[in-house]
């Protein structure tokens, strides 16, 4: 009954958002001239001409960037108008702001591919249930965004630009509401208990977590974790393979700074402690048909994703299929899961592993692991997967493109990996 009620509400909100795409003049914002009808007949997502909005938004980016300012205004307006919303967010808004900035860049850069944006936002909407986000909140977000756009542009924002932004966020919000609606039968989050905690390096731990209920995911996808030590704060980590016989998941966690979730999980968490897991997300997964040889470029704890993919490949590899792994680490000691890697290597004759240790520990910003790609064969027809620190992912994606891989053969999760497709207003990674 309760679920039916929420499903009805969600469906109504999704319809309302789509209807508003048809009537931007009805919006209380400053740009009030009517726009073109957006969806021709039925409000199907396919009809959205995201390319046109992308063009307008890109052409006028200078007015509303850096997004750091826009997002500061946005949250300020939202919390001024609706103070109760503040409690849905963590004490520190920094990660939240960076995440929203990445999401804006992702939307803008992919708006000409509405089906990709829909898929991304559907997953995001499913995920946002764990935060207590309700359909009605999308309208409040939209109003705050319009005010923030005008403040950032110092009152110079054109009506056409406002309408393009509005259509973009309504399109995204409608897909998010649909995603939440489709997920009503599953938990908003899963409870888990830490059953093993190994401190493999001073700043790195490998945790085994037993979910109270089976946790569905595909190898290579990431979960978000929340510890009771930091309420409302979630960070992404990839289970390093399939669940074991007890359903336990293994997570590799590097402490990247003080006071964050990774710090709490590495230094202040032990066996018996509870965690929450958000629904699995991400598209860094092997295709069902495994039609291509596999190339993986990974660094640091990005190895967790690589291991999940390689174990998946080992379980269902068609004859003749081969894989290359290029694994980067700051120092030899930072190969913190060496026995698992050695086991895979010795059991899998089809796997070639190239380990690359930084010559200048501390990070030269050069991504030596990507430089090693040349000279190890022709990867032009491989399916490539990249995971690791944002600098490494960005460098590897560029390098793979130079080596001739088409964009649809390079898989990584740009928003979770923190890879800016445009210069960010401040650099950061997904952990904290």
Binding positions for ligand NAI, rule: CB under 6 A: 237-238, 252-254, 299-302, 304-305, 328-330, 334, 358, 363, 365, 367-369, 387-389, 391-392, 395, 429-431
Task: With H, G, I as helix, E, B as strand and everything else as coil, classify residue 186.
Answer: coil
Task: With H, G, I as helix, E, B as strand and everything else as coil, classify residue 226.
Answer: strand
Q: Choose between 59 and 366: whose C-beta lies nearer to ligand NAI.
A: 366
- Specify whether the CB–CB gap between 425 and 66 falls below 8 A: yes
Q: Choose between 173 and 265: whose C-beta lies nearer to ligand NAI.
A: 265
Q: What is the spatial distance between Cα 83 and Cα 76, in angstroms, rounded to a whole number? A: 10
Q: How far is the CB of 94 from ligand NAI (least distance, A)?
A: 15
Q: What is the spatial distance between Cα 21 and Cα 15, in angstroms, rounded to a whole number? A: 10
Q: Could you please report the per-residue DSSP string of 105-165? A: HHHHHHTT-HHHHHHHHHHHHHHHGGGT--HHHHHHHHHHHHHHHHHHTTT---HHHHHHH
Q: How far is the CB of 102 from ligand NAI (least distance, A)?
A: 13
Q: How far is the CB of 429 from ligand NAI (least distance, A)?
A: 4
- Specify whether the CB–CB gap between 207 and 265 falls below 8 A: yes
Q: Choose between 249 and 323: whose C-beta lies nearer to ligand NAI.
A: 249
Q: Choose between 32 and 331: whose C-beta lies nearer to ligand NAI.
A: 331
Q: What is the spatial distance between Cα 332 and Cα 334, in angstroms, rounded to a whole number? A: 5
Tokens 């890697």 locate to 341
Tokens 């059953």 locate to 195
Q: Choose between 124 and 367: whose C-beta lies nearer to ligand NAI.
A: 367
Q: How far is the CB of 235 from ligand NAI (least distance, A)?
A: 8
Angle at 62 between CA 56 and CA 66, to 5 degrees: 120
Tell me, rounded to whole angstroms, the distance of Cα 335 from its chain centroid: 25
Q: Choose between 168 and 240: whose C-beta lies nearer to ligand NAI.
A: 240
Q: How far is the CB of 137 from ligand NAI (least distance, A)?
A: 27
Q: Choose between 192 and 430: whose C-beta lies nearer to ligand NAI.
A: 430
Q: How far is the CB of 388 from ligand NAI (least distance, A)?
A: 5
Q: How far is the CB of 244 from ligand NAI (least distance, A)?
A: 17
DSSP for residue 407:
G
- Specify whether the CB–CB gap between 237 and 304 falls below 8 A: yes
**What's the token pair of residue 212?**
């109270």
Q: Choose between 173 and 392: whose C-beta lies nearer to ligand NAI.
A: 392
Q: How far is the CB of 316 from ligand NAI (least distance, A)?
A: 22
DSSP for residue 318:
P
């Amino acid at each position: 009954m309760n679920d039916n009620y929420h499903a009805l509400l969600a469906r109504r909100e999704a319809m309302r958002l789509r209807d508003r795409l048809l009537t931007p003049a009805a919006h209380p914002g400053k740009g009030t001239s009517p726009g073109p009808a957006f969806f021709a007949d039925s409000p199907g997502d396919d009809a959205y001409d995201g390319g046109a909005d992308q063009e307008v938004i890109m052409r006028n980016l200078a007015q509303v960037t850096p997004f750091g300012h826009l997002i500061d205004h946005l949250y300020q307006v939202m919390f001024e108008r609706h103070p109760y919303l503040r409690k849905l967010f963590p004490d520190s808004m920094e990660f939240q702001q960076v995440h929203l900035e990445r999401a804006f860049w992702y939307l803008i850069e992919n708006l000409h591919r509405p089906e990709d944006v829909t898929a991304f936002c559907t997953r995001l909407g499913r995920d946002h249930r764990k935060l207590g986000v309700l359909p009605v909140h999308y309208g409040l977000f939209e109003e705050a965004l319009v005010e923030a756009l005008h403040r950032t542009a110092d009152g110079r924002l054109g009506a056409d630009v406002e309408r393009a932004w509005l259509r973009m966020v309504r399109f995204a919000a409608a897909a998010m509401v649909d995603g939440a609606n489709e997920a009503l039968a599953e938990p908003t989050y899963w409870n888990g208990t830490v059953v093993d905690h190994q401190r493999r390096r001073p700043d790195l731990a490998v945790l085994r977590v037993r979910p109270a209920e089976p946790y569905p995911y595909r190898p290579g996808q990431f979960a978000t974790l929340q510890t009771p030590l930091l309420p409302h704060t979630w960070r992404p980590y990839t289970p390093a393979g399939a669940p074991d016989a007890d359903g336990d998941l293994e997570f590799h966690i590097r402490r990247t700074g003080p006071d964050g979730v990774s710090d709490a999980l590495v230094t202040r968490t032990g066996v018996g402690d509870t965690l929450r897991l958000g629904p699995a997300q991400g598209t860094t997964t092997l295709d069902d048909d495994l039609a291509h040889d596999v190339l993986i470029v990974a660094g640091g704890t990005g190895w967790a994703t690589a291991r999940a993919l390689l174990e998946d490949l080992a379980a269902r590899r068609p004859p003749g299929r081969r894989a290359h792994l290029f694994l980067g680490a700051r120092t030899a000691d930072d190969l913190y899961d060496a026995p698992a890697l050695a086991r895979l290597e010795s059991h899998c004759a089809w796997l070639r592993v190239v380990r690359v240790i930084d010559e200048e520990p501390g990070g030269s910003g050069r991504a030596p692991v990507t430089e090693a790609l040349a000279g190890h064969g022709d990867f032009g027809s491989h399916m490539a997967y990249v995971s690791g620190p944002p600098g490494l992912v960005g460098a590897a994606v560029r390098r793979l493109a130079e080596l001739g891989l088409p964009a649809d053969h390079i898989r990584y999760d740009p928003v979770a990996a923190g890879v800016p497709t445009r210069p960010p207003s401040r650099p950061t990674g997904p952990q904290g």
